Structure 1
Amino acid sequence: MTRFIGRRLFSVLVTLGVLMIVVTFIPNLSPGDPARQIAGGTATPERLAEVTESLGLDDSILQQFATVARSVVTLNFGDSFSVAKGAPVFELVSDALFNSAKLVVFSLAVMVPISILGGLVAAYKKDTWIDRVIVNVGVALSAIPDFVAGVFLLAFLAVPIEFFKVQGSAPAGAGVFQQMQHLLLPVMAVLLVYFGYIARVTRAGTINSLDSDYARTAFMRGLPTATVFRKHIARNALQPTVAVLGTQLGYLFGGMVALEVVFGYQGIGNLIIRAVQRSDYPVLRASVLVVAIIYMIATLTADLIVAWMNPRSRSTIGGGS
């Protein structure tokens, strides 16, 4: 297990290093003069020089990379140029990340139990009409983009029913219930899109476990179905589901850009969009790095959980033995 953890940590560090190289080149690859884009067409030469120095565009690529690496270690990404002029980038990213975390936690609390239960029921009722309904409905829902699901919910729930809120962000000082009320439609959109995918993965893992020798033996011994599921099937059946949830967690933090825009939610995805639109490279760098780090941590955690659930998988996750 120690060697496995070491391999995975090394893989994470290598990926982070490559990502920091890519992030370093973001201002250099933008069309035109990045300093001019930020400062504006009427900026004075002094202002242009100030922005150029702040971005480190006069430094060598190695110096720029060192600056990016230092910002990751110290969490000092400088100040925003245009998204919130003069505000510390770390504060902007922290606030957006906290908002995204609330949406992700609420989404997981609703999506995971419902999706896993759907997959378990479909597997237990394999080849019946219940199984077909769950699978077919899940496939149909999975084909819907999240922003389309969001628009659909706004049109059919938020407009006619006052309880559902159009804005995902609750007013300042709102209580927990009011915040959950504002997040309800975005969470429902996430559930619609992800239910089918997670349910199908759970169903496939459960069917494989039900067809295994140890499950047949347990049933032949006369053990109750609930006991067989709890003690012999769940641990192995849910391994693919855990792996999928780990990879999707990173997407939930940074990939729901369109959904956050639809509901006007001030999450990390929305912040990335605003940073791109306004050429705010410090905010863009920090946001991309934070989302990538969360994705890597989530994937690593999922791999460790799967390795704990099934030691044999350590030879296939991350390669080697």
Structure 2
Amino acid sequence: MELPKLNGIAALALKRIGLGLVTLWVISVLIFVGVEALPGDLAEAVLGQSATPETVEAFRKELKLDMPPHVRYFSWLGGFIRGDFGNSLANHRPVVDLISWRFANSLFLAGVTAMIAVPVAVLLGILAALHRNTLFDRLISMATLSTISFPEFFVAYILIALFSVQVAIFPSIANINDQMSLWQKLYAIILPCLTLALVVTAHMMRQTRAAIINILSSPFIEMANLKGLRRLRVVVLHAFPNALSPVINVIALNLAYLVVGVVIVEVVFVYPGLGQLLVDSVSKRDIPVVQASGLVFAATYVLLNLLADVLSIVSNPRLRNPR
């Protein structure tokens, strides 16, 4: 009897993966069309006005700008699938070398932030649901609504003013390199991690609270209360496990935001991540780097959304056993 259940989960997972691949293909088309729609000639913009027509024409052939757009699109997409992102126009280095180190830094920042934000958000969500409609619950709700309302750059500048200017405990520039130890890197990224944690913790905490409160109205929770079980045990051992599906979903979505939505925070703290590289490449019109960075961000976001869908299916009995 277990085999049909497994097949049902596999079918749902494959359907989600297929939709994810289609979404990623549509995003790749939008990225290519958006770059194509940029005003001006790329070859002339890179070489400058002093370049001769022969040099411009030779550079256009090197960039394959003399080919039809659809040919260039499939050539670029095929190279991306093979791991060949081309060469940077700014420094002529392979794009994959530029992106790999920067993307690893963005993942490091997102991972450290997640290790802080996820446990705090889940714990606060459980406590808020446990003490529903009390002063503690209202204070937590007000604090989380406030952090959601403020944009990331505003929170970042407030933290810089407090902890880098007034008190001077942490650096205002989160510059890391491979020669630094783990503790030195953690010390350097404390402020950007705190900025991101204040934003994503609010979303995850409120979803956790709402999911647990929704489960608390279920008949099996009423039965547990009638048996005289302690409120804390009812919430932690009975309500929270049954609320995992929406909680996992919102955690995965916020992890996706941590990876692909850190552009503003990286620019504010001059952090050497993929978001900072994307902004620098846009200002230099380094199109291969811009296209590759955008598609890497999109692939990461789609992958984490797929992971959220699959984990939601696995953790939700009603999705595992549809009627």
Q: 2:154 aligns with which of 144, 148, 152?
A: 148
Q: 1:295 aligns with which of 301, 304, 312?
A: 301
Aligned partners of 1:239 and 1:306 also within 8 Å: yes
Q: 2:259 aligns with which of 247, 250, 253?
A: 253
State the identity as a percent. 31
> What residue number does 2:271 align with?
265
Taking the TM superposition and a 5 Å limit, the aligned residue runs for 1:1-321 are: 1-82=9-90, 85-313=91-319
| C-alpha separation in 1, matches of 2:312 and 2:165 | 43
Cα offset, 1:80, TM superposition: 0.4
| C-alpha separation in 1, matches of 2:235 and 2:70 | 55
* Alpha-carbon displacement from aligned partner over 1:175-212 (angstroms, at most 9, x marks no partner): 11110001100011112222222211111001011111
* Alpha-carbon displacement from aligned partner over 1:223-281 (angstroms, at most 9, x marks no partner): 44454334322222232222122222222222221111110001111111111111111
Structure 1 moving runs of 4+ over 6 Å: none
Cα offset, 1:315, TM superposition: 9.1
| C-alpha separation in 2, matches of 1:25 and 1:251 | 24
TM-score, length-scaled by structure 2: 0.92
What's the secondary structure of 1:166's corresponding residue? coil
Aligned partners of 1:307 and 1:313 also within 8 Å: yes
Equivalent residue letter for 2:39: P
Cα offset, 1:171, TM superposition: 4.8
Equivalent residue letter for 1:149: V
CA RMSD, Structure 1 to Structure 2 (Å): 1.9
Equivalent residue letter for 1:281: I
Equivalent residue letter for 1:137: A
Pair 176,2 (structure 1): closer, same or farther in 2 beyond 3 Å:
same
| C-alpha separation in 1, matches of 2:53 and 2:46 | 13
| C-alpha separation in 1, matches of 2:161 and 2:19 | 45
| C-alpha separation in 2, matches of 1:170 and 1:239 | 36
TM-score, length-scaled by structure 1: 0.92
What's the secondary structure of 1:233's corresponding residue? helix
Aligned partners of 1:146 and 1:259 also within 8 Å: yes
Aligned partners of 1:27 and 1:34 also within 8 Å: no
* Alpha-carbon displacement from aligned partner over 1:143-187 (angstroms, at most 9, x marks no partner): 111111111100011123343111112255111111000110001
Aligned length: 315
| C-alpha separation in 2, matches of 1:314 and 1:9 | 17
What's the secondary structure of 2:109's corresponding residue? helix
Aligned partners of 1:253 and 1:268 also within 8 Å: no
| C-alpha separation in 2, matches of 1:137 and 1:194 | 13
Cα offset, 1:296, TM superposition: 0.5
What's the secondary structure of 1:57's corresponding residue? coil
* Alpha-carbon displacement from aligned partner over 1:94-118 (angstroms, at most 9, x marks no partner): 1110010110000000111111111
| C-alpha separation in 2, matches of 1:211 and 1:27 | 51
Cα offset, 1:314, TM superposition: 6.3
Q: Which runs of 5+ in 1 are unaligned?
A: none
| C-alpha separation in 2, matches of 1:153 and 1:164 | 10
* Alpha-carbon displacement from aligned partner over 1:10-53 (angstroms, at most 9, x marks no partner): 10111111122122223321101122112222223343234322
Cα offset, 1:9, TM superposition: 1.0
Equivalent residue letter for 2:46: I
Equivalent residue letter for 1:125: H
Equivalent residue letter for 1:218: A
Equivalent residue letter for 2:148: S
Range 223-232 or range 62-71, more displaced: 223-232
